[in-house]
Structures are given as structure tokens and as C-alpha cells.
Amino acid sequence: MSVLVKLFKFTVPVPILWAIIVLGVAWMYDRQQIRKSAVQGYVQQSVLAEAEAKAKFQASLLEKEREKTAALTSANNEFMDSLNALQLELSDANEVINEISSQPVNPACVVDQPLYDRLRSQ
């Protein structure tokens, strides 16, 4: 019996020591995994925040471009309206010129006295 007690005293601490070592390693590994997952979570959050900031910036640039496009379209429409009005005036002026040029010329090529007086005074 005394041999069994001595053997028991010797063999029991070894498995307990191994169990403590295994539990310690498992605990450290678990802490390392927790730390690693926390770091990955922080990295993912920062990447997500960066992507959101980029998307917001691009949306603001797109909105500015749309505003600029709307302003340019409005200016272009106003310009086209004024151009059409000027073309209409030019067409009217060309009609007046055509009317004047279609009138017969004085056969004697004599200038009327009032026109002659006006030209002379200038």
C-alpha cells in the first residue's frame, strides 16, 4: 500500500500539471483569437467607414455635376432662344432688302431732292 501511495503521489501531480499547462495554453490561444478577431473587426469597421466616406464624396460630386449640367442646359436653351429670335429678325431684314431691291429703279437715275439734301447735309 505504501508503494501505491507513493506512486499515486507521483502520478497525480503529473496529469494535473499537464492539465494546467494545457488549460493555460488554451486560455492564451483563446485570448489571442479574441484579440485577433477584435483587430479584424476594427479593421473592417475602418474599411467600411472609408467606403462610406468615398461613396458620400462621390455622391456629392455627382450632385454638383448634375447641377452644373442643369445650369449649362438652361443657358444653352436661353442662347438658342435668342439665336432663333435673331435669325427671325435677320429673315425679316432680308425680306425688307428683297422688297427694296425688287422695286424698280428710277429710269433717269436721278436722286430725289429730299434724299439729295439729306445726303448733302451729312
State if pTM tops 0.85.
no
Which is higher by pLDDT, 91 or 121? 91
pLDDT of 44 strictly over 60: yes
pLDDT of 69 strictly over 90: yes
Give the pLDDT of residue 122: 62
pLDDT of 86 strictly over 80: yes
The whole-number average pLDDT for the span 84-106 is: 87
pLDDT of 68 strictly over 90: yes
In the chain, % helix, strand, coil (3-state, to 5) comes to: 90, 0, 10
* Pick from 70, 62, 67: nearest CA to 78: 70
- The dihedrals phi and psi of 7, each to the nearest 5 degrees, come to -65, -40
Give the pLDDT of residue 13: 60
What are the structural domain ranges in the chain? 2-95
Here the contacts of 18-21 (C-beta below 8 Å, separation 24 or greater) are none
DSSP 108: T
